[in-house]
Structure 1
Amino acid sequence: MPRFLRLACVALAVAAAALLAGCSTPRVVDGRVQSFTTLNAVPSPATYRLERLPSQQTPSFDSIAALADQALARAGLRRDDAAPGVLVQLGLQADTVPRLDPWDAPYGPYGMHGPWAWGGWHGRGWGVGGLWRMGGPTPLHRRAVSLVMRDARTQAVVYETSAVHEDVWVSDPAVYGVLLDAALQGFPTPPQGARQVRLPLSPAVPAVPGTVTPSAAPR
């Protein structure tokens, strides 16, 4: 066998091994979290009622509401629709975010700032063409959750938090469950300002109709 063919076979074997290793590694969800609070301790009583908006009064939202109940329970709150201490409103967002093609910039991905400045390149992964411009970068799937808590007696907002995740892979509703946990990290006195929260994606939540399928190899 010619030497270049042997080298090609070795390279393919290494790439296959790396791909298999990546498939066996649990996915980690990176969430950009920002929280605001007026609480000094868990509300008393530590109970809540989830107030579903008109657009959320559908059976398809039940699985998301169940994920919210689980995340709130892990945060130390108990659901009690009859005697809530706080009223919780849940928001969700799902869309795609285009990424800039680095080769659309003058002088390729390096722009005019030398080989260490990647200019407008955002996110991870290449499109079909990669460096050869056979296709643009794979768009990112964006998933976001927000939680607003109001004192049940005064109606004053006492807690506000959100979490956003962008990746070439997405798994609904599992990603929403992880983002809800990320948004509630540190409740009721979370760190101030924006922060990154990394949590493993649980494979236990089954996919639902309408789930976006993976568009790139898993990490």
Structure 2
Amino acid sequence: MKPSTMHSLLRLAVTGLLALALGGCASVYLVDNQVQSFARWDDAKAGAPVPQPPQIYHFERLPSQKESPMAASQGELERLAAQVLAKAGWTQATTGTGAPWTVAVSASTLKLPRAPWEDPYNGWWPGFGPAMPGRDYVVTRTGQVIWMPMFPRFETPYYQRQVQVVVRHAATGRVVYETRAAHDGRWNSTPGLWTAMLDAALQGFPAPPEGLRQVNIEVPR
């Protein structure tokens, strides 16, 4: 078989496998989150009970979150957080209106070229020897160097993401609630993905279970 033909067949096979793995025929995809929450409502004042809905709040931002271009993405993140908080009976106060609580929301993304456990080349090329990461050639057992451009490296980006929500008592500035959700995976950034992470982070709000827990959210494709 000619190298060009082998190259074409290999590319078609790998492309097909990736399409099946990432696309498939499922109508939803799973966003699995590691979540940890801390509720300290007593820090607002001695003996303060867990606030019951309805409640109102203002969003607060760090100076960096107020500057462009981050301001636009921060506004979108707060819009999604407001939708999730509304499910718990918390409503954003109108401009110029006081509120007993402030809410700060933040998000981060680290893009990796591949998953942490993956190598550009794994294992052995049959009959040749170990394929070295980052190289387009292998060395035979007799020491001969063979260039193998017909075996391209296929890599899919991998993302490590986190969202954090912090609630403060407006009058004292004390933190009364803190929660974060972390998710690793290959899904592209979409409002649905961030909403799923915020849903996971605020699961059980304002009286969440203790300790680290896993919260899985299904998102429509």
Question: What band does the TM-score fall into relative to the shorter chain?
Answer: 0.5 to 0.7
Unaligned runs of 5+ in 1: 1-11, 110-132, 204-219
Percent of aligned positions with the same letter in both sequences?
A: 37
User: How far off its partner does 1:90 sit?
Assistant: 0.9
Note if contact 1:144-1:176 (Cα within 8 Å) is conserved in structure 2. no
In angstroms, what is the RMSD of aligned CA positions? 3.1
| Partner Cα separation in structure 2 for residue 36 and residue 104 of structure 1 | 42
> Aligned residues, how many?
164
Match of 2:39 in 1: 37
Match of 1:76 in 2: 89
User: Does residue 88 of the first structure (1) align with residue 90 of the second (2)?
Assistant: no
| Partner Cα separation in structure 1 for residue 195 and residue 220 of structure 2 | 9
| Partner Cα separation in structure 1 for residue 89 and residue 82 of structure 2 | 11
| Partner Cα separation in structure 2 for residue 44 and residue 167 of structure 1 | 34
Q: What aligned pairs does 1:6-45 form with structure 2 within 5 A after superposition?
A: 19=20, 22-39=24-41, 40-42=49-51
User: Does residue 140 of the first structure (1) align with residue 158 of the second (2)?
Assistant: yes
Match of 2:195 in 1: 177
User: How far off its partner does 1:41 sit?
Assistant: 2.0
Match of 1:48 in 2: 57
Q: What aligned pairs does 1:58-77 form with structure 2 within 5 A after superposition?
A: 58-77=71-90
Partner amino acid for 1:162? R
Match of 1:125 in 2: none
Larger radius of gyration: 2
| Partner Cα separation in structure 2 for residue 65 and residue 103 of structure 1 | 38
User: Does residue 101 of the first structure (1) align with residue 103 of the second (2)?
Assistant: no
TM-score, length-normalised on structure 2?
A: 0.63
Query: SS where residue 153 of structure 1 aligns?
Result: coil
Query: SS where residue 22 of structure 1 aligns?
Result: coil
Partner amino acid for 2:208? P
Query: SS where residue 75 of structure 2 aligns?
Result: helix
TM-score, length-normalised on structure 1?
A: 0.64
User: How far off its partner does 1:95 sit?
Assistant: 1.2
| Partner Cα separation in structure 2 for residue 43 and residue 89 of structure 1 | 20
| Partner Cα separation in structure 2 for residue 31 and residue 195 of structure 1 | 8
